[in-house]
Structure formats: C-alpha cells, structure tokens
C-alpha cells in the first residue's frame, strides 16, 4: 500500500481510536480509583482530576490536599485551547521580607522555620478546583467530593510512603497535639496496613460539597485555618480571615518551547518548571542524544552540565511574576540557549556553572531557595481526548504539622528564599505580602509536529521535580522508552559538591565514567515519584513511577 494511503487511513482512524477510553494516573491507588469512578460516571478529565485532588487530601496527607496549592494544565480537545491555572499559595498581606530572619538578622535554620504557623501560605487548591469545575466540569460539583468523603468516613490503609512520612516528622508532634491525635495511636504513628479514619475531614468535605468553595475561604473553616496558624504555639502566623477571603486562583499564559520536532508546554512563574525544563532541553538539542543512548556516561554528563547551567539561571531570575520581572522569553530564547550550550564540552566538565544574562533580564542577585521532597502529581485523560495534568502540594511531609478541620496546612512559605538581599541587591524570590513563592512543580504536555498531544508528565520531590520531568522527556522522546520505563529510569541531580546519581538504578553505573569527565559524583537515594500518560496507536496509556505505590487505571 502506498505510504500516502497509509497516512490517510491513520488520519481517519487514529484520532477516534485513541480516545476510545479514558485513563488516570496517580501516586496513590485510592486516588486513581476516585478518578476512574468519575470518568465512568461521565465526568470530564477535569472532573476526574479534581476528584483525585480531593481523594489525595485524605489518603496522601503527607504530600498534598486542600490545605495546600497546585498548578493545573488543561488541553481542551474540542477547542484546541491549552490553559494553565495557578493555585499556588500566597503569603499573608502582613508578610515582610524579614519573615524568616532570626533576632540576629540572619536566616533561620530551615527546619526551625517549617513547623507552625509562620510557614503557612493561604491555600489555593479550593479556588483552583472551583475555577476548573466552572470551565470544564460536566458532573455536579458535589459528585467530585463523594470518593474522598467515603475514604475519610470508611477509612483507608496506611501505605509505606505515608508511614515513612509520619516516621520522618512525628518526633516533633509532641508540640502539635491535633496532628498527633489524627495520625498516632498508643504513642506511635499508624503503621503500614493499619486503617485511618478522618471524620473531621469528612465533615469539612461534606460542607464544601454542599456550600461550595466560598465555605472554605469564609466562615467556620476559614476561622479554623486562622486559629490553627495564628494560634500555633510554635511560630504563630500573621494570617487573617481577610487573607483567605481575598485569595483567587489565577489563569496564566502557558510557557511553550520546542525540542527537536516537539512542542513542550508547562506552567509559567511562580513555577520555575517550564522555563528550566525547556532550558535543559534547549542546551541539549545540538547533541545527538539518541545516538549517545541511555547507557553512555557522556549522555548523563551533558544532561548534568545543562542542568547546572539551567538551575543557575533559575536561582537568579525566577520568582512570582506579579512582583518581579521574569525574563521568560529570554530564558528560553533559542539563540540564548545555543550560546549557553556552547559552554558545554562533551569531553570535560566546566570549571563553574554560572547564571547567564538572558535577553530582557534585569540585574539580579542569585540566591538559593529551599524545597524539600514532597508533593504529588496526577493525570486524567477522558474519552473525548481532554487532558488534565496537575501537581499539588503541601510542601514537606505533613506541611507545617498543623491541622484545621481535618486537613493538613501547608508549609509553602519556606519555599521563599529566606535572605531578602544578597550582596546588597534584592532577591527575586524574597518574601513579600500577597506574593506566591517560587516552585519547581512542572506539569507538562508534549505535542508532536502536527500539534497533537502525545505525552504528559509531572513529578514530586522538591527541586528534583524539574530533573525528573526533563529526564522522562529525554528518555521518551530521544531514547524511545515507554512512559513507565522513562519514569523508572534513574536520575542525575546535584548537590554542593557536584553531581548526584540515583542509588540502585542503572545510572549509578555511570559514576566512574562521569568522574573521568571531571565530575565529583555522589551516590544517593533521591525519593522520586512521577506520573505520566502517553498516546499510543491503541489509545492513551497511563503510567506510574515504579518507585511509588501509584497506579494507572483505564476507564
């Protein structure tokens, strides 16, 4: 058969077959089941995604929930429009750049700042949920809450990741009786397999299902949030009812760029995800990554060099674009990235990896921000081909360690850079009233050269999120790996000394080769967790990171 005839048949048949059924992917099987349930009831991808967000509030409280915030991307199959929603938390109006400075004027130790009210940002996920449902929802609002309410009332078994999170932070719960009462018994955190019920959260979810999102930002639930954060015995906050009432999720322009024949889109600031991922890929484009392959130390050397240059730009230029000028176009400008790429040698490491000067950049002082491994990502694709992909978080394990009406309150404000100035110049990601802290969350959608969406991915794990997404894209697009294999492939990251290769993966075997190229290499566990979905000839296929307990389910 002639090639043109095969192509014509593919155009006629392929679009209808690939949307034959929906898929969901989540880092927790109960949340994935909630999304599947909503799709089977006729809900849209947006409905399923929001039902998973609510279910994760119950079953993955160490990572995300309605007490936190997130970034949401939606590809509408009917209109072709790509939308991104910013539900990132905000600092209280009274917050100042000195928020995380001690009496000596120096930045507080990170883990001194996390527990208690000072780290709590105004939660954004409920406003995000409302905006998403209003625009793309098909099912009644209250239907989205049903799976989460059922889980909270009937109970759910503790997973190994949840038990690990409790083990990590429960030693400080003596100062936080509310969270200890919910997640400990007989003086110990609940163990793997034990059942937890959360009637207070079930009541909150029922209230929100009946009364709508305003019931979160005003009235008794808002009062409970303020009481927990402002009334905390440790690091009390200056958050007010007015801060909650004023919060709004915000639609932002997506940030898109090209890598080889693909178009890749993600979130703009206050996410650093899309710009940094696109920078890494842009610097790698001149190298034949496919020919080099996944088992070649040179591949990981090139990835590592691009990573270090991109993160240097991230630390200098990224912040909430409502407060600072972020040179988005300049950071992903092809000419700028080609110039940055020319700094990379395939045969040796660079002496230093300094930030560049992208077009449109203002003088800025580089300063490192803090993010700890937490967060969660989840995906829904419905039978119409709509794609919803969201990263949601309360920041570190169990956020601020505070609970209000059954849900964990975030510690997102510790994602700000603690020192407001460096070398006499202001830092882009310094604390300011009503500002959203910088984030690494990187929900991403990939399109082919016909502008057809073919892949979506996101991850959890603090600043490693960007690298998990970049690595998955390289593995899938350059090395031809299926989604699950791309997620499971080991990671190269970095610390103050040099590169870090993920322990227990094939990438660990790259250590000697990377050292020959001049890198100082550490082997470590990285606590990774990603989710994806890929378009195949027979339909969309979901994938969950093999490191996690997550699953992908079909409608």
Q: Secondary structure of 288-327 in the HEC alphabet? A: CHHHHCCCCHHHHHHHHHHHHHHHHHHHHHCCCCCCCCCC
Closest CA to 307 of 333, 282, 339: 282
Round to whole Å and give the CA distance between 123 and 144: 19
Give me the residues paired with residue 324 across strands: none
Check: CB of residue 398 under 8 Å from CB of residue 372: no
Look up residue 80 and give its DSSP letter.
Answer: -
Check: CB of residue 453 under 8 Å from CB of residue 447: yes
Round to whole Å and give the CA distance between 180 and 170: 8
Write out the two tokens for 446.
């990939």
Residue identified by tokens 């949030």 is 225
Query: Is 375 a residue of the active site?
Result: yes
Residue identified by tokens 């496919």 is 290
Instruction: Tell me the three state secondary structure of residue 331.
Output: helix
How remote is the C-alpha of 458 from its chain's centroid? 6
DSSP labels, 132-149: HHHHH--S-GGGGGHHHH
Instruction: Kindly report whether the peptide bond that precedes residue 88 is cis, defined as omega within 30 degrees of 0.
Output: no
Calculate ∠ Cα 489-494-500, nearest 5°: 55
Closest CA to 129 of 145, 153, 112: 145
DSSP labels, 456-515: EEEEESTTHHHHHHHHHHIIIIIS---HHHHHHS--EEE-SSSEEEETTSGGGGGHHHHH
Write out the two tokens for 490.
């080991």
At 171, which helix (H) or strand (E)? none
Question: What values do phi and psi take at 506, rounded to 5?
Answer: -60, -25
**204, 365, 375, 376: the active-site residue:** 375
What is the edge-to-edge ordering of all strands in the sheet holding 529-536? Answer: 255-259, 262-266, 444-447, 453-460, 529-536, 539-544
Look up residue 395 and give its DSSP letter.
Answer: S
DSSP labels, 26-49: ESSHHHHHHHHHHHHTT--HHHHH
How remote is the C-alpha of 321 from its chain's centroid? 18
Active site residues: 375
């Amino acid at each position: 058969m002639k090639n043109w005839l095969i192509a014509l048949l593919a155009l006629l048949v392929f679009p209808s077959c690939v949307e034959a059924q929906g898929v969901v992917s989540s880092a927790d099987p109960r949340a994935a089941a909630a999304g599947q349930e909503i799709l089977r009831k006729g809900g849209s991808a947006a409905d399923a995604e929001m039902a998973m967000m609510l279910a994760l509030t119950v079953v993955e409280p160490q990572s995300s929930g309605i007490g936190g915030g997130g970034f949401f991307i939606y590809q509408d199959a009917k209109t072709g429009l790509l939308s991104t929603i910013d539900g990132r938390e905000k600092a209280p109006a009274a917050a100042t750049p000195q928020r995380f400075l001690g009496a000596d004027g120096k930045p507080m130790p990170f883990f001194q700042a996390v527990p208690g009210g000072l780290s709590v940002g105004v939660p954004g996920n409920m406003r995000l949920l409302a905006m998403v449902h209003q625009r793309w929802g098909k099912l009644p609002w209250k239907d989205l809450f049903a799976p989460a309410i059922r889980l909270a009332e009937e109970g759910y078994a503790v997973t190994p990741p949840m038990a690990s999170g409790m083990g990590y932070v429960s030693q400080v719960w003596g100062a936080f009786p509310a969270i200890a009462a919910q997640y400990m018994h007989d003086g110990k955190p609940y163990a793997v397999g034990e059942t937890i019920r959360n009637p207070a959260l079930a009541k909150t979810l029922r209230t929100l299902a009946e009364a709508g999102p305003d019931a979160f930002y005003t009235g008794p639930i808002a009062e409970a949030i303020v009481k927990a954060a402002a009334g905390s015995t440790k690091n009390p906050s200056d958050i007010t009812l007015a801060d909650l009432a004023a919060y709004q999720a915000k639609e932002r322009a997506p940030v898109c760029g090209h890598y080889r024949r693909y178009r890749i889109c993600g979130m703009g600031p206050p996410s650093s995800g899309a710009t940094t991922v696109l920078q890494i890929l842009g610097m790698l484009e001149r190298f034949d990554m496919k020919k080099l392959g996944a088992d070649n130390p040179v591949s990981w050397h090139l990835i590592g060099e691009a990573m270090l240059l991109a993160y240097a730009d991230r630390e200098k230029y990224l912040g909430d674009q409502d407060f600072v000028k972020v040179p988005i176009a300049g950071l992903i400008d092809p000419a700028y990235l080609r110039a940055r790429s020319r700094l990379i040698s395939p045969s040796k490491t660079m002496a230093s990896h300094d930030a560049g000067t992208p077009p449109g950049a203002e003088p800025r002082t580089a300063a490192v921000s803090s993010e700890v491994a937490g967060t969660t990502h989840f995906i829904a694709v419905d039978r119409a081909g709509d794609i919803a992909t969201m990263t949601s978080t309360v920041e570190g394990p169990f956020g601020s360690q505070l609970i209000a009406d059954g849900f964990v309150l975030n510690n997102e404000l510790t994602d700000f850079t603690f020192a407001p100035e460096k070398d006499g110049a202001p830092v882009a990601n310094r604390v300011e009233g009503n500002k959203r802290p910088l984030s690494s969350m990187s929900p991403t959608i990939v399109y082919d050269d016909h502008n057809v969406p073919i892949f979506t991915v996101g991850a959890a794990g603090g600043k490693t999120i960007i690298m998990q997404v970049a690595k998955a894209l390289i593995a899938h697009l350059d090395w031809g790996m299926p989604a699950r294999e791309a997620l499971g492939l080991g990671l190269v990251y970095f610390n103050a000394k040099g590169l870090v290769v993920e322990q227990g993966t094939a990438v660990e075997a790259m250590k000697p080769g990377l050292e020959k190229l001049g890198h100082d290499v550490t082997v470590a566990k990285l606590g990774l967790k990603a989710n994806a979905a890929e378009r195949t000839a027979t339909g969309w296929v979901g994938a969950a990171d093999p490191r996690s307990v997550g699953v992908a389910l079909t409608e």
